[in-house]
Structure 1
Amino acid sequence: MSREAKHIDQFLLIHSARDDSWREITTLADAWAAKRGDRAALEAAVAAISATEEYHAYPGLRLMRALNECIATDDAGGAAKLARRISNGLLTRVYRGRPAEWDVHDEMAPGEVADVMPPATGEAGARRPYFEVLYVNSQPAARWPALAAEIRRLRRPEDSFIYEPIFVGSFEDAVCATAVNPDIASVVLAEGFPYRSRHDAPVLRSVLDPLGASEAPDVSALRLARELKRIRPELDIYLLSDREVEKLAGDAAAYSVRRIFYAVEEPLELHLAVLEGVQARYETPFFDNLKRYARRPIGTFHALPIARGKSVFQSDWIRDMGEFYGINLFLAESSATTGGLDSLLEPTGNIKRSQEMAARAFGADHVFFVTNGTSTSNKMAVQALLAPGDIAVVDRNCHKSHHYGMVLSGAQPYYVEAFPMTEYSMYGAVPLATVKRALLALRAEKRLDRVKLLDLTNCTFDGHMYNVRRVMEECLAIKPDLIFLWDEAWSGFARFSPFLRPRTAMGAAVEIEAWLRNPESVAAYEKQRKELGDKPSDKALLAARLIPDPRQVRLRVYQTNSTHKSMSAIRQGSMLLVKDVDFHTVEAQFHEAVFTHASTSPNQQLIASLDVARRQMELEGYGLVMNAIEIALKIRRAVNDHPLISKYFRVLGADAMIPDAYRQSGFTDYLTPGATWAAVVKAMREDEFYLDPTRMTMVCGTAGFDGTQFKGLLATSYNIQLNKTSRNSVLLQSNINNTRSDVAHLVRVLVEICESIEKRLADGGEGERSAFAARVKSLMTDVPDLPNFSCFHEVFRGDAGRTTPEGDIRTAFFGAYDPSVCEYVPLFGKECDRRLSEGPEMVSANFVIPYPPGFPIMVPGQVLTQETIDFMRKLDVKEIHGYEKARGLKLLKPDAVAARVKR
């Protein structure tokens, strides 16, 4: 492990690497016992993991010491037996519920097996949730086993959870343990520990350096608490101090600490506090209440016959549905908002509490639960924040819900373009320079006051993540009260990774908030103001990394989150996150938006799943997200390094997905030879755009498949489901549900497909090979240019003489409701070509959205150009919303447009 300590896999794959290391140790021990190997190799393998094993409760010092004693005394059989037991224990996690597993001399009975199966229908879970607590102190390591035994004596049968202690003796070890062990849920700090680890292991440096942990004079417990909260904000931290704890508790720096105890005078109180802290995250107010409701005998006289399930289970015809879903689904159904239940539209009880807990977990001030998907969350936000005539700078390639939100609110979209990836028929993200130019252009025309909102997608379908803090700071330097709406439908789980969190709306907002409170922020602004002068040119503003005036900034940030897309929520579960210092000015409008869009009959199970998803992410989200990243890196390596698969398929790296100009760090890809973890972290922190590692664009055009065709093949023939495709690629997503077995299945399927291609080319002769080459060329070379937004027709642009392109999309949209003002022009034919060359201009009457790529290439009121028509003609997708092939393009009639001009 130390030999590859600087490799990119060293941290991101540290969890699966641990399991692999124990498999290797088991293999080496078996070989030694069978006299096919030697002791030295096993000894070296155990020594390589010894430092990081101290950061985990199991196998613990006692079992590790026993394994080393077996090796030292040449007990090959004993070493092999113990190594296999530890390895199997880690695989099955049996140690969490079987106390004897920690006993050196214990063995499972022949008929005893680890409980690894999911519970059967209706089976109540008997196991108590397990977690680990990190204790950081200056006690000698020889005393740690005795201290651990004392802590275990505090356990009580009535405790809701069970935990194991882990001891470390330095600042560095505490940071490493928190980073590498996702089972740690709480940390207890006793003052007086040193900074440096007692280990001199390269693996520790590979963890510490990317996290930004560097030696400093302040080695206090409070500084360590802040550092640990920066890495994992969900942790509960407790401080033991023999100083003036009353004064310490009043220190503003103690905000990272949940509770302060005087020395160790109250061990039981500390134990109870640890359990209470986890219970505060484990609580799911709505789900807990719904379970209680389902256990009550309820008479239903409201409009929901399916409630209680009698109409299902007493039926000969639909009883199978009840047997499939189980009785609890029906017992927990109700359309009532009384009798212990709450209203999603106006929550005052357990739903309100659940939303407050979600706000805590996701770093927001407020959270709205949404049961109609993030399409509804987006429309709610746009409606609440924008009024008719307001201008919103918006990514033209954003989800259609944003465009429809503009229609509903009457706001005028100022479309900005993402950088194109023409080769793969997709767009990236919007460059910051493009956004700044839009704001500066509006300022030049004295309409900056009408600009209310910047609306961007982060991360994009294909994984492009903005440098969110930089975007917001530079935009606030131009307009200090600009509101930001970040559509993070696809990356809600990024909150729970210390490396992805800064590239989220809430993560960046917290950083900006802290910067605004720092007195040095004013000095930084004044310094730049002097450098740029009182009236800097637009050119100078575009070139500078702008700093806003902290005295003028109003930080107003909104984030929509498809909880169901990246967390354990039922489909359509979404959250709308708010961090807005002026929320009180729009709160009433938000409630109106909720009334407008939310169903008056929301699904109770959806609300419960949002509650539970939050609980899971607060208690194990860190490890789950790390696992998703690990899975993605394994897929990338398995595809791109395989000698056969890589002939026909490849997963695109950052160098293919993000132009050089937006990768200021020079980072190319995770799999580039010599790539270091430090380089990855630098890219995460500095580059304008960063590629989410869990999103993998796999090119299939080189195998002769278009994206839709390949997606269908995987689904129908191999039971592999994908979502998004492009002309010549498919998108693979790793999530918190994936396992390494999924990777193995995907690799086996790709090998099978490649072998079939090889056989077909070998058996088919020159004709087959020529046809295959032509197909690949058509998919990979003869690709259509991607059209940019042209412009709104002048009749929908309002003020005469202005140059900025925002338009009245609402008027154009509803104007087309009158069929007498609409016409249809065939996409292919002389009339379309004549209109393009001679006029009159063709003005779209509706949205046209091809899937893929999934964004509107035509919006109501837009003037159609040759570029757009050429793209439409080259599309070979089956699904185009808003376009009827038999009738053609739906347009506003020229005379109707002319009549509006005259008015």
Structure 2
Amino acid sequence: MPKDAKPTQKRIDQFFSGPGGRGDDWRDLVEAAKAWAQGGDRANYDAVLADIAVTEEFHGYPGLYLMAALKEAATSGDAAASLLLSTRIAQALTTKSFRQHAGDWNVNDEAEGDVPDLLPPAFGRKEAHRPYFETLIVTGVSSNNWPGLCTEWRKLRRPIDSFVYEPVVVGSLEDAFCAAVLNPDLAAVVINEGFTLRSRHDAPVLRALMASMGPRMESDLSALRLAQIIKRLRPELDIYLMSNRNVEEMAGNPEANVVRRIFYSIEEILELHLCILEGVQDRYDTPFFDNLKKYAQRPIGTFHALPIARGKSIFKSDWIRDMGEFYGPNLFLAESSATTGGLDSLLEPTGNIKTAQDKAARAFGADHVFFVTNGTSTSNKMAVQALLGPGDIAIVDRNCHKSHHYGMVLAGAQPLYVEAFPMTEYSMYGAVPLKTIKQALLHAKADGRLDRIKMVDLTNCTFDGHIYNTRRVMEECLAIKPNLIFLWDEAWFGFARFSPFLRPRTAMGAANDIEAWMHDPKSVAAYEKQQAELGKNPSDELLLKTRLIPDPRQIRLRVYQTNSTHKSMSALRQGSMLFVKDVEFHTVEAQFHEAVFTHASTSPNQQLIGSLDVARRQMELEGYGLVNNAFEIAFAIRQAVANNALISKYFHILGADGMVPAQYRQTGFVDYLAPGTNWVTALKSFQEDEFCLDPTRMTLVCGTAGFDGTQFKGILANKYGIQVNKTSRNSVLFQSNINNTRSDVAHLIRVLMEIASEVDRGLAQGGANARKTFEARVKSLMTDVPDLPNFSHFHSSFRGDAGAKTNEGDIRSGFYSAYDAAGCEYIRLADPEIDRRLKGGPDLVSANFVIPYPPGFPIMVPGQVITQETIDFMRKLDVKEIHGYDAKEGLKLVRAEALMKIGKLKPGAAPKLKAAS
């Protein structure tokens, strides 16, 4: 084992440590240097430096020169110089000043001219800001020659270049993989032939990760194979190959599609440099936003219906001038209702919006993208309306966002509701088991109605963080019906594209993996082998327990994903995208445009469109590091809550074992911070478990502190300025995102500490009565919880075939039955008439959606027969916000007489509306 194996394993294997963790490591070095300078133990400083040196090989800054200077100062026993230089480097990394400040690259903070080969020409000068990135160089050149190689690359820099980059040189496949994992600043990779396989260091977790993300490298050590591995890990990176072999043949290899360009040897090194800059420029360009900025600087005469355009009505006013001062002039200069003059039409984009959407499709792995400025509620309704028609059946998670239910009403489609597994203790639902979905398909097949099931519509990940095994769901469903459409609502999960761990569980990630599998000759053999094992007429029981393989020759891959860009990326409120990967899209494209015309505003907000364009740019160029930061923040919060004796006495964050039942965690994964857990165990869960937990979602149980979710949310917001979205009866949901910092973590922990202290002090000073009251409150929140009601069934008046095994219904007719005022009635929740009718009839049939917040899903939908468990749940609810329910009027129900009339109509027809009596 190499001499530095122990520190390497410690440094490289701890992938939970993100950008902030790297800063902590450098601060540890500074503290060790201080201790040494004050007469302390030098050996500790040497150990920390040796520890850091391993991973710093994979970063451009501080680089070979400064790391060599650190080592030299330590070797010579110069504690003062070690402290000074380590402090300067730590500060530069924390502030990121090294990207622009020349002195950060010098040993003694001298002028940049003293070490010209080490400095980008623009550093420290007055030229315009040039974004900084790093380029990974994989080479067979001896490590002794790497400083000279870096110098040659730096000589290619020119003052006219739009960007500045620093080379990072490695000599093996394993080190290249490690650099791609650890260095979020990489934007390009140059692969030369002649590199070795093994790293000079030992890192078992690294090797296990690499083996799981690509083929066995031992048998095929080539530049192209490495390119494929890195592209799978980080698809946003541009990859360039340099080869001494037959480059023409290599360029013609279909597997070379992961490479941006191939060069012969080093004959065109300047051309390669220019290609690297061009590749980054391609991602940096934001077609709509760039044109919007240009438009704002032009002298425009506005004779259209938008008075605030150019801001004259704002800045010339004595009464609303403060709005202009608050937002600034650019907001108004960039406003227009025109679609010409460098702008474009969102309804029928042909210019820069179309180009921006194409760039987004590339970034997110889709074939087509629609920008939406009315939020993902609109994206969902657009997709449902475009893909479903009257009488079509869709398998739908009953707990999905209300926009899906309303989309079914608009389309006239019939939802076949399937239930998620319950989490009764926390008054929330999880996700829908695959067995439940397969059962619905097999029942429809038995009923002879499989042809009517057009879509499976699910939420991934759920609000609370449950992530589907999207590939498995789609493959097993396609094994039963090969042309199914899948609509995945990933409103809260858009960031996942930029994590190699989460990407395969996104709709687009899984669709691309399925597509690649379909083209693999082994896929047909796998399908035929399973068919032989199943036999000619396998029972439903056998099919339900078998991991089904679809016929790759029959699959028509049709996948749609909606994405609230504003929820996890840097887009303005209501900015959303709709992703398409559908081989049959040409057959529904016209319908999609009609759906856009139906739902999209003819006056879309220009700033929203621009922010979608910019959000894509940011995620392509720095999304990988930002998502790692979100992970790091989440782990820091989990760790701090669990390790604080007082906070953990009253609060705790649920792990995967608390959020996902054991039968859906086949790997036995417990939690991200469980002993022995690392990225390999987490990756195994991501790859194999039916459901896994989004690391960035943290369900904090507050009922054990005597607070219900709504109450605790109010305390956090009103007293401490901490905002959360989601609550349950006894919990609140914290989400880390690309915006959070370690300071946010410190603030949250301080607040939880203060609240826990108040609870503890109140119990200590209040005596036995206070303790008794507290325990009763906790019991009511944590033990005496209402059972969660499942969807019952649609009334026979809204069913085409009441004897069928499946439970779909005509929700559109149910919805419009509420428009017939004379055909509806109201009964208050406490009225004994409800109990009498539950026992003796006639049925209680809901006339509208009833959605309590929390839990935030419809416990009643139009046309649904209301059962005892739903009434019991409603009566136990202590929330104030229940959409579709007026406590003064009571439940709105469809009268029995109206139901009889509706039942005589043809399936799917809407009842004739009557004037209100």
C-alpha contact 1:210 1:677 (8 A) present in aligned 2: no
Shift of 1:157: 1.3
| Matching residue of 1:783 | 785
Shift of 1:3: 6.7
2:98 corresponds, among 82, 95, 99, to 95
| Matching residue of 1:154 | 156
Instruction: Give the direction of change, closer, same or farther, for the CA distance of 1:736–1:154 in structure 2 (3 Å limit).
Output: same
Deviations for 1:84-109, whole angstroms, at most 9, x for unmatched residues?
A: 11111111111100123212232599
What secondary structure is seen at the aligned counterpart in 1 of 2:309?
A: coil
Q: 1 CA distance for matches of 2:201 and 2:639?
A: 31
| Matching residue of 1:17 | 21
Q: 1 CA distance for matches of 2:431 and 2:596?
A: 29
1:372 corresponds, among 369, 374, 377, to 374
Q: 1 CA distance for matches of 2:35 and 2:803?
A: 83
What secondary structure is seen at the aligned counterpart in 2 of 1:311?
A: helix
C-alpha contact 1:420 1:427 (8 A) present in aligned 2: yes
2:898 corresponds, among 892, 896, 901, to 896
Quote the sequence identity (%).
Answer: 70
Which amino acid letter does the alignment assign opposite residue 38 of structure 2?
A
Q: 2 CA distance for matches of 1:787 and 1:204?
A: 46
Shift of 1:458: 0.1
| Matching residue of 1:113 | none
Matched, 1:307 2:309: yes
What secondary structure is seen at the aligned counterpart in 2 of 1:12?
A: coil
| Matching residue of 1:633 | 635
| Matching residue of 1:268 | 270
Instruction: Give the direction of change, closer, same or farther, for the CA distance of 1:209–1:90 in structure 2 (3 Å limit).
Output: farther
Instruction: Give the direction of change, closer, same or farther, for the CA distance of 1:181–1:744 in structure 2 (3 Å limit).
Output: same
Deviations for 1:499-522, whole angstroms, at most 9, x for unmatched residues?
A: 000000000001000000011111
| Matching residue of 2:62 | 59
| Matching residue of 2:109 | 106
Instruction: Give the direction of change, closer, same or farther, for the CA distance of 1:841–1:201 in structure 2 (3 Å limit).
Output: closer
Deviations for 1:209-259, whole angstroms, at most 9, x for unmatched residues?
A: 665675422110000000000000000001111112122111112111101
Q: 2 CA distance for matches of 1:883 and 1:500?
A: 38
What secondary structure is seen at the aligned counterpart in 1 of 2:504?
A: helix
| Matching residue of 1:120 | none
| Matching residue of 2:345 | 343
2:861 corresponds, among 850, 859, 862, to 859
Q: 2 CA distance for matches of 1:7 and 1:103?
A: 26
Matched, 1:408 2:410: yes
1:478 corresponds, among 477, 480, 483, to 480
Q: 2 CA distance for matches of 1:106 and 1:751?
A: 42
Instruction: Give the direction of change, closer, same or farther, for the CA distance of 1:211–1:518 in structure 2 (3 Å limit).
Output: closer
Deviations for 1:621-640, whole angstroms, at most 9, x for unmatched residues?
A: 00001110110011111111
What secondary structure is seen at the aligned counterpart in 2 of 1:77?
A: helix
Which amino acid letter does the alignment assign opposite residue 879 of structure 1?
E
1:832 corresponds, among 831, 834, 843, to 834
| Matching residue of 2:499 | 497
2:83 corresponds, among 46, 60, 80, to 80
C-alpha contact 2:461 2:490 (8 A) present in aligned 1: yes
C-alpha contact 1:206 1:677 (8 A) present in aligned 2: no
Shift of 1:198: 2.1
Which amino acid letter does the alignment assign opposite residue 19 of structure 1?
G
Which amino acid letter does the alignment assign opposite residue 642 of structure 2?
N
What secondary structure is seen at the aligned counterpart in 2 of 1:890?
A: strand
C-alpha contact 1:378 1:402 (8 A) present in aligned 2: yes
| Matching residue of 2:715 | 713
What secondary structure is seen at the aligned counterpart in 1 of 2:218?
A: coil
Shift of 1:675: 2.4
| Matching residue of 2:120 | none
C-alpha contact 1:6 1:677 (8 A) present in aligned 2: no
What secondary structure is seen at the aligned counterpart in 2 of 1:413?
A: strand
Which amino acid letter does the alignment assign opposite residue 356 of structure 2?
S
What secondary structure is seen at the aligned counterpart in 1 of 2:15?
A: helix
C-alpha contact 1:822 1:845 (8 A) present in aligned 2: yes
Deviations for 1:368-411, whole angstroms, at most 9, x for unmatched residues?
A: 00000000000000000000000000000000000000000000
Instruction: Give the direction of change, closer, same or farther, for the CA distance of 1:76–1:27 in structure 2 (3 Å limit).
Output: same
1:225 corresponds, among 219, 224, 227, to 227
Q: 1 CA distance for matches of 2:673 and 2:820?
A: 56
Is 635-644 or 668-677 further displaced after alignment? 668-677
Instruction: Give the direction of change, closer, same or farther, for the CA distance of 1:125–1:459 in structure 2 (3 Å limit).
Output: farther
C-alpha contact 2:11 2:52 (8 A) present in aligned 1: no
Q: 1 CA distance for matches of 2:388 and 2:590?
A: 13
Shift of 1:897: 1.0
C-alpha contact 1:8 1:670 (8 A) present in aligned 2: no
Which amino acid letter does the alignment assign opposite residue 99 of structure 1?
A
Q: 2 CA distance for matches of 1:521 and 1:899?
A: 53
Q: 1 CA distance for matches of 2:656 and 2:224?
A: 38
| Matching residue of 2:911 | none
Shift of 1:537: 0.8
Equivalent runs, 1:455-470 vs 2, <5 Å: 455-470=457-472
| Matching residue of 2:671 | 669
C-alpha contact 1:784 1:870 (8 A) present in aligned 2: yes
C-alpha contact 1:397 1:855 (8 A) present in aligned 2: yes
What secondary structure is seen at the aligned counterpart in 2 of 1:309?
A: helix
Q: 2 CA distance for matches of 1:885 and 1:271?
A: 69
Deviations for 1:588-633, whole angstroms, at most 9, x for unmatched residues?
A: 0000000000000000000000000000000000000111011001
Which amino acid letter does the alignment assign opposite residue 96 of structure 1?
R
Q: 2 CA distance for matches of 1:478 and 1:858?
A: 30
Q: 2 CA distance for matches of 1:139 and 1:7?
A: 25
| Matching residue of 2:383 | 381
**TM-score when normalising by structure 1:** 0.97
Q: 2 CA distance for matches of 1:319 and 1:677?
A: 54
Deviations for 1:455-475, whole angstroms, at most 9, x for unmatched residues?
A: 000000000000000000000
Shift of 1:5: 4.3
Shift of 1:551: 0.8
Q: 2 CA distance for matches of 1:143 and 1:341?
A: 51
Q: 2 CA distance for matches of 1:667 and 1:300?
A: 61
Deviations for 1:65-122, whole angstroms, at most 9, x for unmatched residues?
A: 111111111101111111111111111111100123212232599xxxxxxxxxxxxx
| Matching residue of 2:875 | 873
Shift of 1:18: 1.6
Shift of 1:9: 7.9
Q: 2 CA distance for matches of 1:341 and 1:859?
A: 42
Is 244-253 or 595-604 further displaced after alignment? 244-253
Which amino acid letter does the alignment assign opposite residue 450 of structure 1?
R
| Matching residue of 2:726 | 724
Shift of 1:759: 1.1
Q: 1 CA distance for matches of 2:201 and 2:685?
A: 29
Q: 2 CA distance for matches of 1:212 and 1:646?
A: 41
1:741 corresponds, among 722, 727, 743, to 743
Instruction: Give the direction of change, closer, same or farther, for the CA distance of 1:201–1:74 in structure 2 (3 Å limit).
Output: farther
1:33 corresponds, among 16, 34, 37, to 37
Equivalent runs, 1:547-696 vs 2, <5 Å: 547-696=549-698
What secondary structure is seen at the aligned counterpart in 1 of 2:630?
A: helix
1:320 corresponds, among 319, 322, 330, to 322
Matched, 1:192 2:190: no
| Matching residue of 2:456 | 454
Q: 2 CA distance for matches of 1:776 and 1:505?
A: 40
Deviations for 1:859-878, whole angstroms, at most 9, x for unmatched residues?
A: 00000000000001111111
Instruction: Give the direction of change, closer, same or farther, for the CA distance of 1:454–1:143 in structure 2 (3 Å limit).
Output: same
Instruction: Give the direction of change, closer, same or farther, for the CA distance of 1:107–1:207 in structure 2 (3 Å limit).
Output: farther
Which amino acid letter does the alignment assign opposite residue 272 of structure 1?
L
Q: 2 CA distance for matches of 1:615 and 1:269?
A: 24
**TM-score when normalising by structure 2:** 0.95
Which amino acid letter does the alignment assign opposite residue 133 of structure 2?
F
| Matching residue of 1:119 | none
Which amino acid letter does the alignment assign opposite residue 25 of structure 2?
S
Shift of 1:126: 3.5
Shift of 1:27: 0.1
| Matching residue of 1:809 | 811
Q: 2 CA distance for matches of 1:95 and 1:156?
A: 18
Is 572-581 or 244-253 further displaced after alignment? 244-253
Q: 2 CA distance for matches of 1:106 and 1:211?
A: 42
C-alpha contact 1:51 1:201 (8 A) present in aligned 2: no
